[in-house]
Amino acid sequence: MPSIKTYIDLLERLQSVNVRVDAQRCLAVRNRNIACGRCAQACTSSCISVSNGLLNVHPEHCIGCGTCASVCPTGALSPRKPDDRALARSAAAAMRATGGTVVFACEQLLHAAGNAINPETVAAVRCIGRVDASLLVLLASAGAKALRLTCGNCEKCEHSPGKRVAEDIRQDANTILAAWQSGARVSVSSKLPASCRATCKASWDPERRAFLQSARDLGRDAATDAAELAIDRAFDHETAVEHTRRAAMKTGALPRFLPSRRAVLLDALKRMGQPEDVMIGTRVWGHAVIDDDRCSGCGMCAAFCPTGALTKRETATPDANTWLASRNGASHITLVHAPELCLQCRACEQLCPEHALMLSDEVFAIDIGRGRIDEHQLRDIHRDKGGPDAIRNSMSKLINSPYVTG
């Protein structure tokens, strides 16, 4: 099994003008027993791959498509040229040109279309897998009426995994938009809409056409200004949240952080208002289902949770029924889970030594909107290590038989 330093060295080889790398956020770096590999599965150019359980990186193959960043739950990989803010502003400009529709188009399709397309009406990306759900929801909250991910002939494209990523993102974004009662929807298509067609020379009353166009532009300018303001506020808020959470982590434990895209998404949802009281299933959030009888209270899930969606809280309380209470007093242990911070990385599920935790992809939308938390009272694993029943308790745990304690 490769060392943590090996993982860090491999990931940092990806650092380039196309990709920003924060290796300390990688799940495999935080704990090498966590199996992820999503970046390798989504990579469109064989830049990242896994063979025989080992990570392989070939930075010379990277095309800067950004699909690896779209599927990375922790933000260990993030795109450059353009970054998310720049792409969001480009999409807002395209929305102005089309009158409310945001069109993303891959470079293969734009190359095939040539001069037939007005470049001002599209936000160009190397691959449509670059566009993640947080960006789509942000644009919907900023006034987009429809969002369209367009790609060329993916069956013959060497970067075809990007379309599969885009389809998953479309499904997640539409589920979220429906729950938050937005009229905007995301579609994946191989055809550009007519609104992206290059303009032709007018054959009738050009002065009247120019006047009408000017009137439409005034309305579009106002909508674009509002959209760009919403975009800037979301990314500025994301930066403030990130700095606050980093400053709070001075306990010597593994650092916790909120990926920038999650902060942008939560800010956009807050602006959209409260959702319907429905359960939704996405790849965005997770809900920890804990078997309290199996859970030993070890806290491994909380220790390695990257965002603090799972935290362990201990409260000292007197308890006359335990042997340790006669000396030190007992403690109540509570595992706190915040679904809105859960990245569905599944680190907790994989690391639980008792297999007492299962992560569901279904959450109540209203729990996200209100920041609801769940609390589970756990056993204290240190409570029964002494006293008259110590041997019996240890044997019971060892062979897991009711006859020992019966």
Kindly report, residue by residue over 156-178, the tens digit of the pLDDT. 777 778 899 999 999 999 999 99
Q: Which residues contact 149 (CB under 8 A, 6 or more apart)?
A: 104, 128, 131, 166, 169, 170, 186, 187, 188, 189
CA separation for the pair 159, 107 (Å, rounded)? 11
- Kindly state whether residues 104 and 63 are assigned to the same domain: no
Task: Flag whether 265 is in a domain.
Answer: no
- 404 or 25, which is more confident? 25
Q: How many residues does the chain have?
A: 406
Q: Residue 242 pLDDT > 70, yes or no?
A: no
Boundary of a domain, candidates 34, 62, 81: 81
CA–CA separation, 259 and 250 (whole Å): 18
pLDDT value of position 181 = 96
Least confident of 40-44, 75-79, 387-391: 387-391
Mean pLDDT rounded to a whole number for the chain:
81
Across the range 178-205, mean pLDDT stands at 84
Rounded to an integer, what distance in angstroms lies between the CA atom of residue 299 and that of residue 66? Answer: 34
Number of domains the chain contains: 3
CATH of residue 27's domain is 3.30.70.20
DSSP state of 197: B
Tokens representing residue 331 in the block: 């403690």
pLDDT digits (tens, 9 = 90+) for 261-276: 999 999 999 999 999 9
**pLDDT band at 329; cut points 50, 70, 90:** very low
Average pLDDT of the segment spanning 286-303: 89
List of residues 6+ apart from 155 with CB closer than 8 A: none
Residue 259 located in a structural domain: no
- Domain shared by 99 and 71, yes or no: no
pLDDT value at 402 more than 90 = no
Retrieve residue 154's tokens.
Answer: 């993916």
- Over its C-alpha atoms, the chain yields an Rg (Å, rounded) of 25
Residue 131 and residue 71 in one domain:
no
Residue 314 falls within a domain, yes or no?
yes
Asked whether the predicted pLDDT for residue 379 surpasses 80, the reply is: no
Q: Domain check: are 72 and 90 in the same one?
A: no
Percent of the chain with pLDDT over 70: 77
pLDDT at position 69: 94
* Residues of the domain holding 309: 274-405
Residue 405 has pLDDT above 50, yes or no: no
Residue 260, domain member (yes or no) = no
Are residue 221 and residue 285 in the same domain, yes or no?
A: no
Same domain, 205 and 77: no
Q: What is the CATH number of the domain that holds 368?
A: 3.30.70
**For residue 238, is it within any domain?**
no
Q: List pLDDT tens digits, range 201-240.
A: 544 455 554 544 544 454 455 555 677 777 877 777 655 4
User: What pLDDT score does 369 carry?
Assistant: 79
On whether both 89 and 224 belong to a single domain, the answer is yes
In sign, the C-alpha dihedral spanning 67, 73, 75, 77 is: negative
Last residue of one domain, picked from the residues 166, 200, 232? 232
Mean pLDDT along residues 65-76: 93
SS3 content of the chain, % helix, strand, coil (to 5): 45, 15, 35
Backbone φ and ψ of 287, nearest 5°: -125, 120
- In what order do the strands lie in the sheet containing 310-317? 310-317, 330-337, 374-378
Beta strand segments in 29-98, E: 48-51, 54-57, 77-79
- The residue among 48 and 50 whose pLDDT is bigger is 48
Give pLDDT, residue 182.
Answer: 96
Of 155, 99, 106, which Cα lies nearest the Cα of 127? 106
What is the reported pLDDT for 292? 82
Cβ(192)–Cβ(105) below 8 Å: yes
Between CA 344 and CA 281 the distance in angstroms is: 11
- Asked whether residue 88 falls in the same domain as residue 219, the answer is yes
Cβ burial of 271 (10 Å; 0-12, 13-18, 19+) is middle
Same domain as 142, residue 221: yes
Same domain, 88 and 213: yes
Place of tokens 């993916």: 154
Q: Which has more pLDDT, 7 or 146?
A: 146
Most confidently predicted of 105-119, 164-178, 330-344: 164-178
Residues 6+ apart with CB under 8 A from 180: 137, 269, 272, 273, 275, 276, 365, 369
Q: Which helix (H) or strand (E) holds 337?
A: strand 330-337
Confirm whether 243 is domain-assigned.
no
Write down which residue in 178, 200, 232 finishes a domain: 232
Cite the beta strand spans of 28-127 per DSSP E.
Answer: 48-51, 54-57, 77-79, 101-106, 123-125
